[in-house]
Amino acid sequence: MSEVVAGDPDERPRPVLSTVDVVSGYTDAEICTGASVDLGEGELVVVIGPNGAGKSTLLKAIFGLIDAWEGTIELNQQDITALSPRDRVLAGMAYVPQTENVFPRLTVRENLEMGAYINPDRFEERRDHVEEIFPALEGKRGAKASSLSGGQRQMLAFGRALMTDPDVLLLDEPSAGLQPSLVDQVLGHVDRVRQAGTSVMLVEQNARQALQIADWAYVLDEGAERYEGPGPKILDDPEIGRLYLGG
């Protein structure tokens, strides 16, 4: 059970995604030790914590890339704990991994086409929606993904995931490996996705910047949530700052 720093969890929007006491990991290494987090409809929820806390492991378990050994995962109040990643996509979930999240040898258009595989008849409709969020992609349709800047490549990764018209978008450290000047730009892209109506759960190493735009945040430690509250309140909490944000 986490400590609520501020705010009232009961006043949050209805959850579109919930995990309850999720235990998961790799082979015989238990990384998530009972994580319970919610993502409300239309929210941007940020998950932070020290290295090894289980943040990325939790996202992988939510998307079905690794099994949840214990606990439950619900999407739109339906138990999806046993579903494959493909079936989770069909149910309304999308996931952008930290690396290798675009096809570098394909064009921007071809990457978006790959993202529309579950409903190719809606390709133009979804492409127009993506380009409305990220106008810079419209002028790059014929460009190879490998030619894009780091920020543009993340736009494309987000856009490809949005082609499935998900209710929930999971993002695993999208600013990792980018030069510092691009971090705020990429987090701005994340915020635009939320503003366009998709609920977003974000794991982010640049915690201070991410907390500024988060509706709600969780601090994971040793595989479970320790604190939760509105992003700016988490950011301003002196104890959390001392323990997890470098003072």
230 domain-assigned: yes
CATH code: domain of residue 219? 3.40.50.300
Instruction: Say if CB 57 and CB 31 are below 8 A apart.
Output: yes
* pLDDT tens string 50-77: 999 999 999 999 999 999 999 999 999 9
168 domain-assigned: yes
124 domain-assigned: no
Q: How confident is the model at residue 237, as a pLDDT?
A: 94
Domain around 81: 14-101+163-244
45 domain-assigned: yes
pLDDT tens over the chain, length 247 residues: 678 877 788 889 999 999 999 999 999 899 999 999 999 999 999 999 999 999 999 999 999 999 999 999 999 999 999 999 999 999 999 999 988 899 999 999 999 999 998 888 999 999 999 999 999 999 999 999 999 988 899 999 999 999 999 999 999 999 887 888 888 888 999 999 999 999 999 999 899 999 999 999 999 999 999 999 999 999 999 999 998 887 5
1 domain-assigned: no
92 domain-assigned: yes
The DSSP bridge pattern shows strands 224-229 and 216-221 to be antiparallel
44 domain-assigned: yes
pTM > 0.85: yes
* pLDDT tens string 13-36: 999 999 999 999 999 899 999 999
Q: How confident is the model at residue 1, as a pLDDT?
A: 60
130 domain-assigned: no
Q: What is d(CA 72, CA 156) in angstroms, rounded to the nearest whole number?
A: 31
CA distances from 137 to 112, 176, 181 (A): 10, 21, 20
Q: What is d(CA 87, CA 106) in angstroms, rounded to the nearest whole number?
A: 25
Token readout for 246 is 């470098």
Q: State the total domains in the chain.
A: 1
